[in-house]
Amino acid sequence: MNALPGQPHIHWRDGELHVEQVPVTQLAREHGTPLFVYSKASMLAALAAYRRGLEGRRARICYAMKANSSLGVLQVFAQAGCGFDIVSGGELARALAVGAKPHDIIFSGVGKTRAEMAQALQVGIGCFNVESEAELEVLDQVAGQQGRVAPVSIRVNPNVDAKTHPYISTGLKGNKFGIAHERTLHAYKRAASLKHLRVVGIDCHIGSQITDSGPYLDAMDRILDLVATIEAEGIRLQHIDFGGGLGIDYRGDRPPAADALWTELLRKLDARGFGDREILLEPGRSLVGNAGLCVSEVLYLKPGEQKNFCIVDAAMNDLPRPAMYEAWHGIEAAKPRSDAQPTTYDVVGPVCESGDWLGRERSLAVQPGDFIAVLSTGAYCMSMASNYNTRTRAAEVLVDGGRTHVIRERERVEDLLRNERLVD
């Protein structure tokens, strides 16, 4: 068996691509395409790396479900004992639907509504990660109306460059997230003075798809400086939330392994005298990204003077990352043909946009009717999928060894029309 880079549970066997023990072509024929396929073993292996790095520490891993919020995926992490990092009332409902314990849920996001705050307070979530001074005031009011006290952590913007795509950078002064480093102490004093808030921690998240430990170390130094300053004012912080953001291998990327990264970060935490604190983490992409692939059927091969096009039935509504970020995903023929010459193609979908491409200049030995697999699509693909061009969203399958479980039925056009009305 030859495993793909960064994806030990997606591998070649007898000339075919497999997810764990199941051939990709078999999955495509049984469930149709486009189809998202996830490896349960891959998700649990990624989680185990974090746990090795945090062994012996008081730590909670709260899966950042914005990466992939499908119930079957959430269930894997809930059963493994994870908490959840949510950014909406809808995500709260999803977490509760898979049996998450409310006190293991943390609510992030810059635009929480009063209704969402009330919903989260009613079920008793563990913490609100507050992202503005105005939000502190509103949350205090909402908690007061319910006669409750809201546990809060303030998200700090440390002005650290994560050296990632600008759309997924969250820790610089020009980003919308968090409270400016210089305003943090003022915000904590205000939070501590409000009757219906209880300060429990501090939070920091600097971006996504980070492939270097340097930004994490820089951010930790800045956050620990703040912890010392805040506690000098008599405000005790029970936990330190270092967010997520660790990258995965999309195209030869070499992010640090989660266990190695946290061994390094914990050394710094101990050296600064804060090793006794509870640690919260919010990994998302690094737990699910390399666990997934999207299977698509080749519809047409279209030669051209400047480019050759491989037209497939998956599109930008299924896989938005290339169109949004010019992101690179590996693309493989699920069962490469021995009777076809490898040809360089732009792999494109049926949507009426020139931005509807999945990969450029890829060498593939395929014919119409064959299947391709777009790799590393477990994160920020299905969760960002749309119905553009009235295209139904794909089915999803979870593979566990030799067993397969349909965790999302393929949408039908009738599903899309159900809530629409003609005018009388």
SS3 19: strand
One-letter amino acid identity for 312? V
Query: Rounded distance, CA 182 to CA 236, Å?
Result: 19
Angle at alpha carbon of residue 20, lines to 263 and 247, rounded to 5°: 35
To the nearest 10°, the Cα dihedral for 92, 95, 101, 106?
-50
**C-alpha closest to that of 366 among 310, 315, 295, 293:** 310
| b/e burial code for range 27-66 (CB count within 10 A of at least 16 → b) | bbeebebbbbbbbbbbbbebbebbbebbeeeebbbbbbbb
The first and second tokens of residue 32, run together, are 């149709």
| b/e burial code for range 242-253 (CB count within 10 A of at least 16 → b) | bbbbbbbbbeee
**Catalytic position from the list 127, 204, 310, 352:** 352
Query: Rounded distance, CA 249 to CA 246, Å?
Result: 10
Q: Is 62 a catalytic residue?
A: no
In angstroms, how far is CA 26 from the centroid of its own chain? 28
Tell me the CA distances in angstroms from 142 to 116, 121, 150, 342, 414, one per residue in order: 10, 9, 9, 61, 39
Query: Rounded distance, CA 114 to CA 135, Å?
Result: 10
The first and second tokens of residue 64, run together, are 């950042």
Query: Rounded distance, CA 74 to CA 104, Å?
Result: 14
Residues with a known catalytic role: 352
